[in-house]
Amino acid sequence: MGGFECSTHLRRPGGERLDLMQATRHDELAMQDYAALRGFGILAVRDGIRWHRIETTPGHYDFTADLPMVRAACQTGTQVIWDLCHYGWPDDLDPFLPQFGHRLAAMARAFVRLLLEEGEARPFVVPINEISFLAWSGGDEGLLPPFARHRGHELKRCLVRAAIETIDAVREVAPQTRICLIDPMINVAGRFNDPENCLAAEEYRQAQYTAWDMMAGMADPELGGKPGYLDVVGLNYYADNQWLHARGGEFVRRLLPGDFGYRPVWDMLSEVYARYGRPLFIAETGAEGHHRAAWLRSICEQVYLAMARGVPIESICLYPILDYPGWADDRHCRTGLFGYADRNGRRPLCWSLGAELLRQQAMLTRTLVVSAQEDARAEQTEIVTGQP
């Protein structure tokens, strides 16, 4: 899969609002972008809509700005997983208040109706992108909207309620809608000679599951969660998703392969599947600059290992699939398979990442063929011998 950066949050309270779809020109070049990905065998993407532009007046929806992407997806045969709320919302809303969930649900209902009218048979949506990360960055650290501090758990509960209300709303319109709940997959290790630090690290690591547990009714059942809300689990994983738990005011150090406490990605994927038993996909992964190809290769190797152990990984989403201007300073982040568009709408290709992508697709095809052949032989043996 390819993932289009679609953040629409404010950089600071009352400050400039980002619109990464406009900044990368994906909103105007969606047809070319989807077609270019199809040239690499990528038939599914993550994309998003811009709630703050859709609902400038409460209760009134204008999908004009995002309709070209919807139609481009239909015309190119691209399956889109739509982010309904990707860090941004209308200025008059407060995510700590119930009205946030009411308004998101109503907008989502209208958007899914639009998808059906445009020919989408089975919508895929993400109600709120990265509930856990947003609760931490926007509720504890004041880095993202709503720019609060020390209210992370409270915000997480509010976002879960809003997500549940939104799921109910879209399923009223289209019961066949698939729901993707996406958050970072992390590992936090303690120092081997510090038991107290190890306990704190494990407590922090386990917190990555809280939002999913709430959605499934495994935690805080008063929020209304139930297993049916946990449909497809999306896992975001980057090089900085494993770290050594800090002590005091020391700097947090990233864990690298070979470090004490580092976990292979296949093992982390296996743990998530054992906990929830739901289909999984890598919803975001990627690297910057000359690391792009090597990172894709390493992630694919780990996914193959997980699949060999029976973990159903449905897809790997390269994210962002386009170069984009950095959130804080607009610097050119060279993360994409394709770069910035020129005045004619042409995007340069990252040749090293493109070559590695084709190589990994071929390897996966061979792996799946061999697996299918082995399954067929096993089935035939069972038929002949009567023994599984």
Predicted TM-score of the model (pTM): 0.93
Domain CATH for 157: 3.20.20.80
Question: Are the C-beta atoms of residues 184 and 235 closer than 8 Å to each other?
Answer: yes
Query: pLDDT for 285-323, tens place per residue?
Result: 999 999 999 999 999 999 999 999 999 999 999 999 999
User: Residue 53 pairs with which residues in a beta bridge?
Assistant: none
Amino acid, res. 202:
E
Range of the domain at 146: 2-385
Residue 50's contacts (CB-CB under 8 Å, 6 or more residues apart) are 6, 8, 19, 21, 65, 66, 88
Residue 203's contacts (CB-CB under 8 Å, 6 or more residues apart) are none
Query: pLDDT for 225-270, tens place per residue?
Result: 999 999 999 999 999 999 999 887 676 789 999 999 999 999 999 9
Q: Which two three-digit tokens encode residue 192?
A: 């081997």
Residue 379's contacts (CB-CB under 8 Å, 6 or more residues apart) are none
DSSP state of 249: T
E-assigned strand segments in 186-236: 187-189, 232-236
Report how many domains make up the chain: 1
Question: Are the C-beta atoms of residues 279 and 312 closer than 8 Å to each other?
Answer: yes
Our CA dihedral for 115, 6, 1, 32, rounded to 10 degrees, sits at 80
Question: Are the C-beta atoms of residues 17 and 52 closer than 8 Å to each other?
Answer: yes
